[in-house]
Amino acid sequence: MILFNIDMVYTRFLIPGLVAVLIWSGCQNVDRIANPGRPNIILIMADDLGYETISANGGTSYHTPEIDAMAREGIRFEHCYAQPLCTPSRVQIMTGIYNVRNYIRFGWLDTSQVTFGHLFQDGGYATCVVGKWQLGKEADSPRKAGFDEHCLWQVQLGRADATGRDTRFSMPVLETNGRIDTFSRNDYGPDIVCKYGLDFIERCSQEEKPFLLYYPMILTHCPFSSTPESASWMSDDTTVMRYKGNPSYFPDMMAYTDRIIGRVKTKLKELELYENTIIIFTGDNGTDAPIVSELNGRSVAGAKGKSTDAGTRVPLFIQWPAEIEGGQISADLVDFSDVLPTICNTAGISVPDSLNVDGYNFLPQFRGETDEPRRWIYNWYSRSGESEKARVFARNKEFKLYDTGEFYHIPHDYLEEQPLDLNNLNDETEEVYFELEEVLESYENRRLDAVSPND
């Protein structure tokens, strides 16, 4: 039985990637004619923030009123999945392509890849990225990735200074459009990048130009440390000298993350842009250890870096007051490859067939229209990019099949401790197994190092 049809054309990486860039460039509007009636897009992605941390999802450990308001004003997704770690997720969300086809190594986005930044630039949008980069150490790597402007942590420099002090929070070291700036001890990195993003929004408003603001946040990654709203702000600054810091500060970091979402919404309302701006909020992977949070009566230990549910399931909230009816809840499957085709479709920007993206456009789902949602997601995860270290699986909302043969029923085995007996499956479960097996087989030879020079 053929359960789905998937394009089996191999995607090579370097030369074909450059060819795709050329084809894409030739098809775009080089004059970048703006259409002020098109929606603005703000994509906010918190760092190390799993599904269980948000109270609208059923989390009870933290108070997230601004994010919860997005659920009331827009749509909340119950089944959004990222990669287990930051760089793999960033590469996937920006390109719409599964890691198996274009992920090389940690901390790197190859410049041959076409991102949503490129597509929006040539679709008439101003583009900006603020927050955390970690996708290339060249000063102009954000520009090469399709962003007109940037204010970022960790572009040219590493995460710590010569003393071992982490530079993302107090006394931050940030890079603004290629310039490296060291701020004072009382300055807070998340505040500075947020302010730059809000200034970008205001400038675009004055110029009546639609914009894409990509905001991969600095929060809530460790070191877990005090925020400007913490009672111990500046009286306990030693936590930034230790990689993990002090987990007791995580609730403060959650609260600050939520306040930043509120600042963004307030600025949009001040500029009368709120109605026609799409705000997307998600997390790049599961929460880090040793954080343990409560979700609907069960404890969820942070599983960043692991392929389990707690390592890959992330919050997803979307609001667009002009188009989305509030209070919706979607149980449809979504993964990070879907973001690029969806936001492009929303903005009226075509995605060239030459890019051969893996993602699905889920615009119909969040507009309340009837459409066929995706039946499965695929995950190829290797921090280093080495195939022999990859953890590979396909899953739907309930079942998960690894390429090693392990088959799990996730709602009854979140920690994946008891694989199902393949010889004792009922007909319905067996059908799911064969579907997921076919997904795995269809991607099996699409890894970069699995494609021969003559293919």
Could you give the CA distance from residue 425 to residue 142 in angstroms, rounded to a whole number?
49
Could you give the CA distance from residue 428 to residue 430 in angstroms, rounded to a whole number?
5
Residue 438, in any domain of the structure: no
Q: Which two tokens stand for residue 104?
A: 């090389």
Residue 266, in any domain of the structure: yes
* Partners of 151 in beta bridges: 130, 176
For residue 364, how many other CB atoms are within 10 A of its CB? 16
pLDDT of residue 451: 55
Residue 62: CB partners within 8 Å, gap ≥ 6? 53, 54, 55, 251, 254, 255, 293
Per-position b or e across 222-257, b if 16+ CB within 10 A of its CB: bbbbbbbebeebeeebebbeeeebbbebbbbbbbbb
Residue 114, in any domain of the structure: yes
Residue 101, in any domain of the structure: yes
Closest CA relative to residue 325, chosen from 265, 262, 369, 281: 369
Residue 394, in any domain of the structure: no
Q: Which two tokens stand for residue 125?
A: 């949008």
Residue 196 backbone dihedrals phi, psi, to 5 degrees = -65, -45
Burial of 12 (0-12, 13-18, 19+ CB in 10 A): middle
pLDDT of residue 224: 97
pLDDT of residue 370: 63
Residue 227, in any domain of the structure: yes
Residue 55, in any domain of the structure: yes
Closest CA relative to residue 47, chosen from 163, 173, 189, 180: 189
Domain that holds residue 55: 19-377
Tally of domains in the chain? 1
Residue 425, in any domain of the structure: no
Could you give the CA distance from residue 238 to residue 219 in angstroms, rounded to a whole number?
18
Residue 67 belongs to domain with CATH number: 3.40.720.10
Could you give the CA distance from residue 380 to residue 218 in angstroms, rounded to a whole number?
25
End-to-end CA distance of the chain: 28
Contact indicator for 383, 395 with CB cutoff of 8 Å: no
pLDDT of residue 450: 65
pLDDT of residue 327: 95
Could you give the CA distance from residue 112 to residue 114 in angstroms, rounded to a whole number?
7
pLDDT by 10s per residue, the chain, length 455: 333 333 333 343 444 444 444 445 444 443 333 444 799 999 999 999 999 999 999 999 999 999 999 999 999 999 999 999 999 999 999 999 999 999 999 999 999 999 999 999 999 999 999 999 999 999 999 999 999 999 999 999 999 999 999 999 999 999 999 999 999 989 999 999 999 999 999 999 999 999 999 999 999 999 999 999 999 998 888 899 889 999 999 999 999 999 999 999 999 999 999 999 999 999 999 999 999 999 999 999 999 999 999 999 999 999 999 999 999 999 999 999 999 999 999 999 999 999 999 999 988 877 777 678 899 999 999 999 999 999 999 999 999 999 999 999 999 999 999 999 999 999 999 999 999 999 999 999 899 876 544 33
3 state SS for the chain: CCCCCCCCCCCCCHHHHHHHHHHHHHHCCCCCCCCCCCCEEEEEEECCCCHHHCHHHCECCCCCHHHHHHHHHCEEEEEEECCCCHHHHHHHHHHCCCHHHHCCCCCCCCCCCCCHHHHHHCCCCEEEEEEECCCCCCCCHHHHCCCCEEEEECCCCCCECCCCCECCCECCEEEECCEEEECCCCCEHHHHHHHHHHHHHHHHHHCCCCEEEEEECCCCCCCECCCCCCCCCCCCCHHHHCCCECHHHHHHHHHHHHHHHHHHHHHHHHCCCCCCEEEEEEECCCCCCCCEEEECCEEEECCCCCCCHHHHEEEEEEECCCCCCCCEEEEEEEEHHHHHHHHHHHHCCCCCHHHCCCCCCCHHHHCCCCCCCCCCEEEEECCCCCHHHCEEEEECCCEEEECCCCEEEHHHCCCCCCCCCHHHCCHHHHHHHHHHHHHHHHHCCCCHHHCCCCC
Q: Which two tokens stand for residue 360?
A: 């699905």
pLDDT of residue 95: 98
pLDDT of residue 369: 72
